[in-house]
Amino acid sequence: MAVATSRFTVDVAVVANPSVAEKRSVMNSQTSPSPFSPITIGPLTLKNRFIKAATNEGMSAQGVPSKQLVKFHSALASGGIALTTVAYCAVSSDGRTLPNQLTLLPASLPHFKALTDGVHQAGGLASAQITHGGCFTFLRERSPPHPLSSSGGFNKIGMLSGMFRKQAMTETDMQKVVEDFAQGARLARQAGFDAVEIHMGHGYLLSQFISPLYNKRRDQYGGSLENRLRFPRRVLRAVLDAVGRDLAVICKYSITEGVRAGNSAEDGAKIARLLEQEGAHLLVLSAGMNAESITTMFGSSFPKENRVQQKNPVIALAMSIQRLMDPKVEFRELYLLEHARKVRAAVKMPLAYLGGAKSLASIEQIMAEGFDLVAMGRVLIAEQDYVNKLASGVSTNSICTACNRCVAMMYTPGGTSCVLGKPGDPELNRQPAADR
Ligand SMILES: Cc1cc2nc3c(=O)[nH]c(=O)nc-3n(C[C@H](O)[C@H](O)[C@H](O)COP(=O)(O)O)c2cc1C
């Protein structure tokens, strides 16, 4: 594979007049590729190795991309990112977690198309993160009335949503969800996306199958790790069959769940092998679970300011509970590296490191450790042009302090923003992307 063989070769595919940062990376590329060099994943070639990680922007007031969301992702593309991930696109109305979540429906396509056009015109590529919430949902109007999950019984997420029971999926439910994912991927292709990222992490439906915290099934979909991966692999296979020749098919999952009874990084390495066998083009290595271990995902605690900013009482309560339950965690760069290394050692396929990459030195370390790409979330909320700043040598360290206030900002009228920068425009955020 081009990726695997190029890892240890001298890589000089940088611009004609390399900047300070690029020169440094070329020097490092004696043993590892430059982060500014191109890479091919599945059918897609990226101009460099930087991915904007999915961060629900809260810019979809009517369930479709807003003009503010187009502006945000276009700024990322003109700011140097090769591939920007549009977070949290539900594959069906019943698969939503939040009522105003982006949803891939035929009627929404003009708005998604306006977004991908904006990104392409700005010189980037766009990936749609496709997801189903399972029992991690606040949507009370649904059919069936109880949210679906790998297993039935008490729904702990229902403490917040009021839906105290969840329903174990039958074969018919599973087939429907497999088709929803395949259809979501086809719609993403029609809307002009270049890649789809299947969300298999953080406690949503596919993660509810992978995780022993949720999956208590006794059939071929429960028990061993292989069995727990069976349904997510079915989804992956269906998405690959539907669009894998045209789009890169990426899987994002939690390499460790960060709690004792959950999957460990050793499990995370085995999961990677199973997804590699199934033919995924790239894995994005996240960690943690929304309800059980949010600080594992973010590598830092949530500030009390997040709670007072909340107008939505359910979200305010959720954040308060989270603050009480989660340990105090001091941020450190590359906080998931020791776990991610186990995955790197287990597979040959392309991997994107995610978690606390916020300086050129960190990014170079990731490349030197054999990861193929770097995905970044908060850094790019703070500075959409961070990649250009690195490439030109204007900056080496991001201004992001990993304070996590951008997480609460996604529930404000202007959508996500960094407290160190300008807030989003509520007016622009009310307007669907394709409206005149
Ligand atoms: C505001 C915000 C919203 C997020 N929403 C999502 C999401 O919708 N889907 C997802 O997979 N991850 C989501 N994440 C997690 C990020 O993708 C990423 O795992 C996390 O920010 C750690 O990476 P970083 O250190 O580069 O920020 C979100 C993160 C932030 C800050």
Complete DSSP assignment for 311-338: -SHHHHHHHHHHHHHSPP----TTTTHH
Q: Is 56 in the pocket of ligand 1 (CB under 6 A)?
A: yes
Report which protein residue has its CA nearest ligand 1's atom 28: 55
Token pair belonging to 19: 């900047």
Decide which of 168 and 146 is more confident. Answer: 168
320-341: average pLDDT:
85
Integer Cα distance of 7 and 429 in angstroms: 42
373-421 pLDDT, tens digit per residue, is 999 999 999 999 999 999 999 999 999 999 999 999 998 999 999 999 9
Instruction: Output the CA 298–ligand 1 centroid distance in Å.
Output: 8
Checking if the pLDDT of 14 tops 60, the result is no
Checking if the pLDDT of 29 tops 70, the result is no
Using most ligand atoms within 8 A of CB, pick from 252, 378, 379, 400 the residue to mutate for ligand 1. 378
Q: Is 374 helix (H, G, I), strand (E, B) or coil?
A: strand
Integer Cα distance of 130 and 146 in angstroms: 22
Q: In the prediction, which pLDDT does 328 show?
A: 85
pTM to 2 decimals?
0.92
| Rg of the chain in Å (alpha carbons) | 20
User: Which pLDDT band holds residue 169 (cuts at 50, 70, 90)?
Assistant: very high
CATH architecture of 2-430: Alpha-Beta Barrel (3.20)
Residue keyed to tokens 């991610």? 340
Q: Where are the domains of the chain?
A: 2-430
Token pair belonging to 33: 């590729």
262-311 pLDDT, tens digit per residue, is 999 999 999 999 999 999 999 999 999 999 999 999 999 987 766 545 56
Integer Cα distance of 434 and 406 in angstroms: 26
Checking if the pLDDT of 237 tops 80, the result is yes
Report which protein residue has its CA nearest ligand 1's atom 6: 55
335 is a catalytic site residue: no
Integer Cα distance of 411 and 175 in angstroms: 33
Q: In the prediction, which pLDDT does 320 show?
A: 65
Q: In the prediction, which pLDDT does 16 show?
A: 38
CB 225 within 8 A of CB 243: no
Residue 159, exposed/middle/buried by CB under 10 A (0-12, 13-18, 19+)? middle
Residue keyed to tokens 């982060």? 35
- Atom of ligand 1 lying closest to residue 199 CA: 11
Instruction: Output the CA 175–ligand 1 centroid distance in Å.
Output: 29
Integer Cα distance of 201 and 203 in angstroms: 6
Q: Is 202 helix (H, G, I), strand (E, B) or coil?
A: strand
Q: At what angle do helices 225-243 and 171-190 cross, to 10 degrees?
A: 40
Cα–chain center distance at 375: 9
Report which protein residue has its CA nearest ligand 1's atom 30: 55
Q: In the prediction, which pLDDT does 302 show?
A: 85
125-138 pLDDT, tens digit per residue, is 999 999 999 999 99
Report which protein residue has its CA nearest ligand 1's atom 8: 56
Using most ligand atoms within 8 A of CB, pick from 50, 51, 52, 56 the residue to mutate for ligand 1. 56
**From edge to edge, which strands make up the β-sheet containing 148-149?**
148-149, 165-168, 153-154
Integer Cα distance of 299 and 296 in angstroms: 5
**Mean pLDDT of the residues in the chain:** 91
48-67 pLDDT, tens digit per residue, is 999 999 999 999 989 999 99
CB 86 within 8 A of CB 73: yes
Q: In the prediction, which pLDDT does 318 show?
A: 67
